[in-house]
Amino acid sequence: MKLIIIFFFLFSIHLFSGIGAGTSAPSALPVELTSFTLNFSGGSVLLRWTTETEVNNYGFEIERGLNFFISDWEKVGFVQGYGNSNSPKEYSFIDIPNKGTKFQYRLKQIDNDGKYAYSSAINIEIKVLNEYILNQNYPNPFNPSTVITYSIPVSSKVILTVYDALGKFITTLVNENQEAGNYSVNFNSTGLSNGMYFIRCNPIIL
């Protein structure tokens, strides 16, 4: 027997110009790192960290590992530093993992002369809920692209499609078997008119 669940989200296109949690103890970096935390919500991970003082700080690379035991790190972003500072500075970064439930994050602090050091790693295990979740896309409204996140509790064939307000098929974003976990997909609206569109998610339990 196959269980089929269908649900929708409504979003709009407007043309224009122009949360699991974890913490780690501060570590010995060239800057004085006083806190490093993260929170998970709506398919995204929010990292926050604070420095007490900074000397010659070029910035921070954010690295993500896909589990707790294998040191297979991937750079997922960069945040510019303040250079030199004798007062507390706050930083933040949002990461949207496209698969998996166990992650670890660390900061690579880089000096202006190219020297670098790593913070301690934060481990986080995202508990997969016992239901299918399709989160509201972000940003919304958008132009030309937006990110859609969703969660599946068990291994499923996931079909994610887009329709216009009249029910006309626009495109298929996902059509594949996926393990239980949290996922994200990018939708590019280039070539589409302004208006309201539907996201249809049709997961089939394997």
Task: Give per-residue pLDDT as tens, 124-162.
Answer: 877 656 778 888 888 888 878 888 888 888 888 899 998
Would you say the C-alpha torsion 155, 156, 162, 163 has a positive or negative sign? Answer: negative
pLDDT band at 57 (very low <50, low <70, confident <90, very high): very high
Residue 41 lies in a domain: yes
The verdict on 90 and 149 lying in the same domain is no
Express each pLDDT in 157-205 by its tens digit: 899 998 888 888 999 999 999 888 888 888 888 888 888 888 888 888 7
Measure the CA–CA gap between 67 and 124, rounded to whole angstroms.
9
The verdict on 49 and 119 lying in the same domain is yes
The verdict on 195 and 165 lying in the same domain is yes
Locate tokens 């393990």: which residue?
179
Please list the residues that pair with 47 across neighbouring strands: 38, 93
Q: What is the CATH number of the domain that holds 13?
A: 2.60.40
DSSP per residue, 139-196: SSSBSSEEEEEEEESS-EEEEEEEEETT--EEEEEEEEEE-SEEEEEEEE-TTPPSEE
Last residue of a domain, one of 125, 153, 184: 125
pTM of the model: 0.55
Measure the CA–CA gap between 80 and 168, rounded to whole angstroms.
44
Rounded average pLDDT over 29-43: 80
% of the chain beyond a pLDDT of 70: 80
What local confidence, expressed as pLDDT, does residue 171 receive? 92
What local confidence, expressed as pLDDT, does residue 69 receive? 64
Which residues form the domain of 86? 21-125
Q: What is the CATH number of the domain that holds 106?
A: 2.60.40.10
The verdict on 110 and 180 lying in the same domain is no
Total domains, the chain: 2
Last residue of a domain, one of 95, 125, 155: 125
SS3 (DSSP) at 109: strand
The verdict on 102 and 137 lying in the same domain is no
The verdict on 100 and 153 lying in the same domain is no
Last residue of a domain, one of 101, 125, 149: 125
